[in-house]
Structure 1
Amino acid sequence: MYSTFQPHPLLAAYVDAYWVSMATQFSQQRILPDTCADIIFNISDQPVTVGNNAIWIAPNTAFVVGTMTAFRDIVRQGNTGMLGIRFKPGGLHAFTELPLQLATDEHLLLSDITRDWHTRLVPLLEKASSISEKVNCLENFLLQRLPANNIVANTILESIHLIRQSNGNVAPAVLADKAFMSSRTFERNFLRIVGVSPKTFSRIVRFVSVHRELKKEKSATLLSLALDHGFYDHAHLTREFKLLAGDNPSCWR
């Protein structure tokens, strides 16, 4: 079972959704890059293993998953549950001020990132008896910590909007000019707030856009999808999909 819950309007600029995933039997799942970062709570008494290196997530543990630049496979035994906050790009940094490049492609213990969050949130979630109560705990916790206005962060968020609006086909130099920053300063701020460079972020946005179209437009050829989304040709699209999703694009129709 997988369900999502929309955030409070005051949090909508930072949080994409709260989500819960429950499994009653052994399961394997492939997670694809989506430009977001998550805080995830293993709310069951069973461990979860993640990735090719078999990262072991202990029961009743909270961890931070940074922006992903490649797929991850998750293996779950029976009776496991995970509850997550999926932050929009730049959203996690707004609350924690963690330099997000430190979390890229990583699973970090929440207690190592911010002990205050771990010591306050984990007991609250353990006491909550239902999923809706647990989600409310997360929501209220974030509402009490709404970030102050940050001019640099707002500028980067506007750049993120431009990248998404163009489906990842806007040059970093153009974004830096619009942000009134040098290319080096812009990239440094983007890395710190989002976790990846503007170029890598644009690659992931293009991938996400094509992946969405593959599921929606069954009749579209891979060549037309490649050209429409800024890839050089069919081969370029296929290489990117193998890197980001582990399979050829045709496997995702």
Structure 2
Amino acid sequence: MEYKTYKPNPQLTKQVKLYWSIEDMEEGFQHERERIFPDGCIELIFNYSDRWRKYDTETEFHIQEPCFIHGQLKTFFELQAMGKIGVFSARMHPAGLQPFIDFDVDTFTGNTLTTAQVWGKDGEALEKRMLACSTNEERVAVLEEFLLGKRKEYKVDNAPVEHCVDAMIKSVGNIAVDELADELKISKRQLERRFTAAVGITPKLFARITRFQNMLQLIENKEFKSFTTIAYEGGFYDQAHFIKDFKDFTGLNPKQYFSENLEMVKHFSFDD
């Protein structure tokens, strides 16, 4: 499977984090389920090959549409490719989608909306153009032309929310909402309302996801030998707090998760 990334146009760097693609055109290959975790970002996904299953329960699934926006995640879900793979996506910054739509982002948190549902006939036209592209360079150009046009239509001042997002990322989720509200000279409730409308989840949940993602990075980089150490260094109250968040976002406790990865499990001790 080939994975590629592309940088956005400088005019879109505040909204678009990056573009990515995965491709595997091998036929007859049985793909395993992939578990997707919350990362605090929203994806604009364009599937130009065979369709995917999204599992609603352990045994029930539905077939995903080819072009859609996936809202913020509060927990994990599972996907399974049904044949050849060809996916292109724009990964938005946490508050990056709002300037391109005329409704609150939390409208579809945990769900998907097709490009047609979000942008009507313009969304249908975008889908046709994206699926007609033959290279990722073409896909980037088509999507950026569309996004730049939509951003002119919907003028939104996201500066306060973007400030909060940046502060939470820099502090790895360890900054109080009250502190941020004081900095911006608005009430905590007002900040929470604006943040949820622009990002799709509450500041508190975004902070939890930021800590969780930082913890995954620490583990992937093999910077710690003990989950207790990771819990404290990652800003969790204690190991129980770390395990709870890990299970909420992955569906597994750390021991279950890393026991499935024999190479990774060698590098860590389990303290429970």
Following the alignment from structure 1 to structure 2, what is the Cα–Cα distance between the partners of residues 39 and 228? 33
Return the letter of the residue paired with 2:56: N
Tell me which of 127, 133, 138 is aligned to 1:133: 138
Q: If the length of structure 1 is used for normalisation, what is the TM-score? A: 0.91
1:84-99 matches, cutoff 5 A:
84-99=89-104
Return the letter of the residue paired with 1:72: F
How far has the Cα of 1:225 moved from its partner?
A: 1.1
1:145 matches 2:150:
yes
How far has the Cα of 1:218 moved from its partner?
A: 4.7
Following the alignment from structure 2 to structure 1, what is the Cα–Cα distance between the partners of residues 171 and 204? 13
Provide the residue aligned with 1:167 in structure 2.
172
Tell me which of 60, 64, 69 is aligned to 1:64: 69
- Structure 2 portions without partners, runs of 5+: 259-263, 265-272
How far has the Cα of 1:246 moved from its partner?
A: 2.2
SS at match of 1:114: helix
Return the letter of the residue paired with 2:13: A
Provide the residue aligned with 2:12 in structure 1.
11
How far has the Cα of 1:97 moved from its partner?
A: 3.2
SS at match of 1:125: helix
8 A Cα contact 1:26 1:75, kept in partner: no
Return the letter of the residue paired with 1:231: F
Q: If the length of structure 2 is used for normalisation, what is the TM-score? A: 0.85
Larger Rg: 2
- Structure 1 portions without partners, runs of 5+: none
Provide the residue aligned with 1:47 in structure 2.
51
1:73 matches 2:74:
no
Following the alignment from structure 2 to structure 1, what is the Cα–Cα distance between the partners of residues 224 and 134? 46
Q: Work out the number of aligned pairs and report it.
A: 249
Following the alignment from structure 1 to structure 2, what is the Cα–Cα distance between the partners of residues 197 and 219? 30
Return the letter of the residue paired with 1:16: K
SS at match of 2:97: helix
Provide the residue aligned with 2:230 in structure 1.
225
Following the alignment from structure 1 to structure 2, what is the Cα–Cα distance between the partners of residues 126 and 198? 36
SS at match of 2:5: strand
Return the letter of the residue paired with 2:71: G
User: 1:79-122 CA distances to partner (integer Å, 9 max, x unpaired)?
Assistant: 13222111101101111133111111112222112114422211
RMSD: 1.8
User: 1:157-185 CA distances to partner (integer Å, 9 max, x unpaired)?
Assistant: 00101111110011111111112211111
SS at match of 1:83: strand
User: 1:132-153 CA distances to partner (integer Å, 9 max, x unpaired)?
Assistant: 21222112222333457644x1
8 A Cα contact 1:42 1:57, kept in partner: no
Distance 1:110 1:145, change over 3 A: closer
- Equivalent pairs: percent with the same residue? 29
8 A Cα contact 1:35 1:201, kept in partner: yes
8 A Cα contact 1:63 1:108, kept in partner: yes
Greater displacement, 112-121 / 7-16: 112-121
